[in-house]
Structure 1
């Protein structure tokens, strides 16, 4: 059986363990990998994820990176665009053309992504929202973008 190629999720220094746990659970359900780029605002140990309610940890394809530099060094060894989800983008996620080897990158809940991350991104996308609101919950944002990427690329698991 050949492994299907599908998008990856990358979380830049996440702050809230429950959001990360929810994202890891969703990724496990869809057979996706998640890169967690540290330092995070919480412990990245298996025990800490279990305390956050992640009972799918054994099924999640989790890759921990100690730093942005460590993530970028590993990224250099695999294909795919780095697609940053940010409120500062002009292109919407629904209007963007995703590819199966894209790495979908999301910033911190508290402060988003710094300039060094923006500069490294191959593309930037945003989720359109009504005026006067700040942002969506991180796990909700990831689900929206991942859902669109999987729809476009045929990356959902077989029914």
Structure 2
């Protein structure tokens, strides 16, 4: 089912907070991109807070469920996967994004697994911060990176 792929693809691995996923779903609708939800979710997809954050856009969202990241990677084995973590060395704007890329974000409390990051360190990026904050909100992080990917791909509204 390769037709699931869009200009860029957002992947959330085990998201825990319904409003974050709702906001990201709304962003995906606004950009006409796909959202992939991977692993155990910390909420039901019928959650009222998820729906409230996504407003009435949730019904327009192209989203897909996968049991594991390995399952997703196997289905899209010819695609590129970028991982985002505060633990990465590379900064997100140094990545060279192309159409069809998958942008992968971890759960709010733990991020992505260390082994996964180490195994993919050349494709692991961070959003730099100078203040005392430990991390950014997940939906903000996804928006920052998604719009940078669009900028690089030269996407234009038609």
TM-score (norm 1): 0.85
Which residue of structure 2 lines up, in the alignment, with residue 105 of structure 1? 104
Which residue of structure 1 lines up, in the alignment, with residue 123 of structure 2? 123
Structure-2 change in CA distance of 1:130 and 1:51 (3 Å): closer
Once the two structures are TM-superposed, the CA of residue 57 in structure 1 deviates from its matched residue by 1.8
Consecutive unaligned residues of structure 1, counting only runs of 5 or more, are none
In 2: Cα distance, 1:117 partner to 1:137 partner: 21
Structure-2 change in CA distance of 1:151 and 1:105 (3 Å): same
Which residue of structure 2 lines up, in the alignment, with residue 25 of structure 1? 26
In 2: Cα distance, 1:121 partner to 1:137 partner: 22
Which residue of structure 2 lines up, in the alignment, with residue 144 of structure 1? 144
In 2: Cα distance, 1:146 partner to 1:112 partner: 18
Which residue of structure 2 lines up, in the alignment, with residue 58 of structure 1? 59
Structure-2 change in CA distance of 1:150 and 1:51 (3 Å): closer
TM-score (norm 2): 0.85
Given the alignment of the two structures, is residue 16 of structure 1 paired with residue 17 of structure 2, yes or no?
yes
Once the two structures are TM-superposed, the CA of residue 63 in structure 1 deviates from its matched residue by 0.6
Which residue of structure 2 lines up, in the alignment, with residue 155 of structure 1? 155
Conserved? CA contact 2:81–2:101, under 8 Å: yes
RMSD, aligned α-carbons: 2.1
Consecutive unaligned residues of structure 2, counting only runs of 5 or more, are none
In 2: Cα distance, 1:95 partner to 1:51 partner: 32
SS in 2 for 1:52: helix
1:20-68 per-position Cα deviation (integer Å, ceiling 9, x unaligned): 010000100110001000201112x3x2267531221221110111233
Higher helix share: 2
